[in-house]
Chain A
C-alpha cells in the first residue's frame, strides 16, 4: 500500500510540475465546453431580419411583436417596397424576410386560412433551414393562442414538437459528446504517454528490477489519471449546469458510475497503446489518431450516425464513446434510469474487460 501511495505522489508530482500537461489536463475540458457551448453552437441567435407588412393589422403586429421578443431574431427594419427585400438581402446582413400579405388578419379570421411568406438567405442552407423553422414556430404558436381564445372549432394545425430539447438547444448534444471526448483523450493520451515516457527515459528499466510487481507499476500509473478525470468530469458538469443551463435530469451517481466505466475503458486502451509503442511521439500519434478522430466522427455528437454509410455505422460500434454518448444522453437529458441503459453499459464493460485482458497479456515484464 505504501508503494502505491509513493507511486500516486510521484505521478501527481509529474503532472503538477509539467505546466504544459497541466494546462492540457485542466484547460482542455474548460476550453471545449466553452467553445462548443458558445462559439461552435449550431443554434442561431440574434439573426437580422426584415419585415414587409402589407397588412398592418392587429394580427400581423402581434406576430411581429412575438418575433421581436424571440432571442433568435432581431428586426432590422420594416420595409415598404418589394424591391427593398432583394436590396436588403444583398446590401445588409439580413438572413430572413417575413412578408405579410394585405388582408392577412381578415383572411385568418374569415377564411380561417392565411399565409405568410418567409424568404430566407439560403446561401447557408443550414442556417436558412433553422431560421425558417424558428420563424414558423413563432407563427404557429401565435396561431394556437388565437384558436384557443376565439374558440374556432376546426383548424389545420401543424404541430411541431422537439422532444427533450424543445428550444433546439445545441448544448444538449455537445455536453455528452465533449464529456466523452475529453475523458477519452485525457485518459488514453496521458496513460499511454506517461508509461511510454518511463520506457523512453530508462526509468522503466529501474522499476522492472525492483520487487514491485511490474503490472502494478502500470496500474498505479493509471489510477491518478482516473482521479484527475473524475475531477474533470465535475468541472465539465459544473460548467454545463451553471454556464450552459444544461440540466442533469437523471441520477448523478449513475452518471458518475458510468463515467468511471468509460474512464476505465480509456485507461485500458491507453495501457494497450503503451505496450505497443516505444516512444512518446508514437504513443501520442496512436492516441490522437486512434481516439480523437473516431470519437469526433463516429460518436454521433457531431455528425448523426444514422446518416452515415452502413460500413461506418458498423465501425462506430467499436468506438467506446458511442455507447457512452448514448448512456449520458439517456441519463442527463432524458432522465432515464439504469434499466434503460444496461445494454450499453454491458457493451462498455465488455470492451473494458477485453482491452484490459489484451494489454495484460501484451505487457512486457522484460525489455524485449
Chain B
C-alpha cells in the first residue's frame, strides 16, 4: 500500500519567478523509511509543507493516506505528525508542558501513547521541568519528535531533524527512527547530510527542485558507472587544481582527506602516480574506492547541469 503519492508537483514562489519544486513525482510505501536528500534550497521543505497541507502546489496533486492535500486537508492534519526544520515548540514552556499541550491539542494524553514515545521520553524525563528553550540541541530534537509522535500518526514528516545536532545525538536519532518503524509508522525524513542517506530504506536525491534519482541507497551506489579512485598526497589543494586540469581525468572532487577521481580511460591509472611524483608531490597514494551517496549525488548533479 502506498501512503504518500506526489504526482507532477510544481511549486513556485514570488509569483512564479522562483521555482522551488519542479515537476516532482514519487511515492512512499506504508511503513517505509524514506529519505529526501539534498542541499539547502533544494526544495525539501517545500515538498514537506505541501504534503502536510501547509502549502498548495501550483500544479500536480499529492495524496497522504489516500487524502488529497488540498481538498481533504483536514483529514490529513488529523493523521500525520510533522516536525518542522526549525525548533518549533514553546520555548517558555517546560518539557512536560509542551508535551501535555500537544497531546491535548491532538485529542489524546501522554499516557495513552506512552509506549510509542517511551524510549525517547525516558531520556527527557530528568529535564521535564526545564523550559524547552534551555535544552541542548539534541534534547530539543527529542522533545520535538515526542510532540510529533504523541498522537500516534500514520505518517511522520521530519524536516531536517538532525541539522544542528551533534554527531552522537544524530546517531541516536536515527536509531530512534528505526525503532519507530517497528510500530508501522511511515517516515519521511529530509536531510542535507549525505552520510545519513544509507540509513534510509529508499532515498530521493533532490537538487534545484528536481529529483535526480530515487532508489534504495545500495542501488543508487551500484549504478555509479565507473570505478572510483581516491588520491592523497602532501599538497592536497594544489593537487585538486592540477588533477582537474588533466585531460584524462573525468571528475575530481575533494572528500576530506582524499580526492575522489574518475577517468575517461581506465588505463591512465598506471601513469598517474609517476606523473604526480614527477610534478613534485610526495607521499602519493592512489587506491580504488567504494562510491558513496555523495559521489553519486555530485555525478548526477553535474550531468543535470550539463543538460543530459
Q: In the complex the two chains form, is B106's CB within 8 Å of A13's CB?
A: no
B56 at the interface (CB under 8 A from A): yes
User: Restricting to A2-20, which residues have a CB under 8 Å from any CB of B?
Assistant: 2-3, 5-7, 9-10, 13-14, 17-18
A116 at the interface (CB under 8 A from B): no
User: Restricting to A62-98, which residues have a CB under 8 Å from any CB of B?
Assistant: none
B100 neighbours in A (Cβ, 8 Å): 6
Q: In the complex the two chains form, is A205's CB within 8 Å of B88's CB?
A: yes
B59 at the interface (CB under 8 A from A): no
Q: Which listed residue, A3, A13, A18, A208, touches B107 by the CB 8 Å rule? A: A3
Distance from B99 Cβ to chain A, minimum over Cβ atoms (Å)? 11
Give the B interface residue count (CB, 8 A): 31
Q: What residue of chain A has the Cβ atom nearest to residue B76's Cβ?
A: A209
Q: Bound complex: CA of A9 vs CA of B97, how far in Å?
A: 10
Distance from B187 Cβ to chain A, minimum over Cβ atoms (Å)? 15
Q: In the complex the two chains form, is B53's CB within 8 Å of A366's CB?
A: yes
Q: In the complex the two chains form, is A17's CB within 8 Å of B92's CB?
A: yes
Q: Which listed residue, A201, A209, A212, touches B53 by the CB 8 Å rule? A: A209
Distance from A2 Cβ to chain B, minimum over Cβ atoms (Å)? 6
B86 neighbours in A (Cβ, 8 Å): 202
Q: In the complex the two chains form, is A10's CB within 8 Å of B82's CB?
A: no
Distance from B214 Cβ to chain A, minimum over Cβ atoms (Å)? 25
Cβ contacts A333-367/B at 8 Å (1 or 0 each):
00000000000000000000000000000000111
Q: In the complex the two chains form, is A211's CB within 8 Å of B82's CB?
A: no
Q: In the complex the two chains form, is A14's CB within 8 Å of B90's CB?
A: yes
User: Restricting to A305-354, which residues have a CB under 8 Å from any CB of B?
Assistant: none
Q: In the complex the two chains form, is B101's CB within 8 Å of A6's CB?
A: yes
Distance from B19 Cβ to chain A, minimum over Cβ atoms (Å)? 16
Q: Bound complex: CA of A365 vs CA of B104, how far in Å?
A: 20
B80 neighbours in A (Cβ, 8 Å): 209
Cβ contacts B82-109/A at 8 Å (1 or 0 each):
1010111111110001001110111100
Q: In the complex the two chains form, is A10's CB within 8 Å of B56's CB?
A: no
User: Restricting to B58-97, which residues have a CB under 8 Å from any CB of A?
Assistant: 73-74, 77-78, 80, 82, 84, 86-93, 97
Q: What residue of chain B has the Cβ atom nearest to residue A13's Cβ?
A: B93
Q: Bound complex: CA of A13 vs CA of B102, how far in Å?
A: 15
A5 neighbours in B (Cβ, 8 Å): 104
B54 at the interface (CB under 8 A from A): yes
B147 neighbours in A (Cβ, 8 Å): 206
Distance from A308 Cβ to chain B, minimum over Cβ atoms (Å)? 43
With contacts A3-B105, A212-B105 taken as known, whether A368 is within 8 angstroms of B55 at the C-beta atoms is yes
Q: In the complex the two chains form, is B88's CB within 8 Å of A6's CB?
A: no
Distance from B139 Cβ to chain A, minimum over Cβ atoms (Å)? 18
Interface size class of A (residues with CB under 8 A): 20 to 34
Q: In the complex the two chains form, is B90's CB within 8 Å of A203's CB?
A: yes
Distance from B151 Cβ to chain A, minimum over Cβ atoms (Å)? 8
Q: Which listed residue, B77, B78, B91, B97, touches A208 by the CB 8 Å rule? A: B77
Q: In the complex the two chains form, is A209's CB within 8 Å of B54's CB?
A: yes
Q: In the complex the two chains form, is A366's CB within 8 Å of B56's CB?
A: yes
Q: In the complex the two chains form, is A366's CB within 8 Å of B82's CB?
A: no
A3 neighbours in B (Cβ, 8 Å): 104-105, 107
With contacts A3-B105, A202-B84, A203-B88 taken as known, whether A210 is within 8 angstroms of B56 at the C-beta atoms is no
Distance from A82 Cβ to chain B, minimum over Cβ atoms (Å)? 72
Q: Bound complex: CA of A203 vs CA of B89, how far in Å?
A: 6
With contacts A6-B100, A6-B101, A10-B93 taken as known, whether A209 is within 8 angstroms of B55 at the C-beta atoms is no
B232 at the interface (CB under 8 A from A): no
Q: Which listed residue, A13, A201, A212, touches B97 by the CB 8 Å rule? A: A13
With contacts A3-B107, A6-B105, A14-B92 taken as known, whether A206 is within 8 angstroms of B82 at the C-beta atoms is yes
Q: In the complex the two chains form, is A10's CB within 8 Å of B97's CB?
A: yes
Q: In the complex the two chains form, is A205's CB within 8 Å of B82's CB?
A: yes
A24 at the interface (CB under 8 A from B): no
Q: In the complex the two chains form, is A206's CB within 8 Å of B84's CB?
A: yes
Q: In the complex the two chains form, is A6's CB within 8 Å of B54's CB?
A: no
B107 neighbours in A (Cβ, 8 Å): 2-3, 211
B230 at the interface (CB under 8 A from A): no
B73 neighbours in A (Cβ, 8 Å): 365
Q: Bound complex: CA of A3 vs CA of B107, how far in Å?
A: 7
A207 at the interface (CB under 8 A from B): yes
Q: Bound complex: CA of A365 vs CA of B100, how far in Å?
A: 24
Q: Which 7 A-B pairs have the closest CB atoms?
A: A202-B88, A6-B104, A209-B82, A211-B78, A367-B54, A17-B92, A209-B52
Residues of B in contact with A (beta carbons under 8 Å apart): 49, 52-56, 73-74, 77-78, 80, 82, 84, 86-93, 97, 100-102, 104-107, 147-148
13 residue pairs A–B, Cβ–Cβ below 8 Å: A3-B104, A3-B107, A13-B93, A14-B90, A202-B84, A203-B89, A206-B88, A206-B147, A207-B105, A208-B54, A209-B52, A210-B106, A367-B49
Q: A7-B105, A210-B106, A211-B77 are in contact. List 12 more A-B contacts (CB 8 A).
A: A2-B107, A10-B90, A13-B97, A206-B84, A209-B53, A209-B54, A209-B80, A211-B74, A366-B55, A367-B49, A368-B55, A368-B56
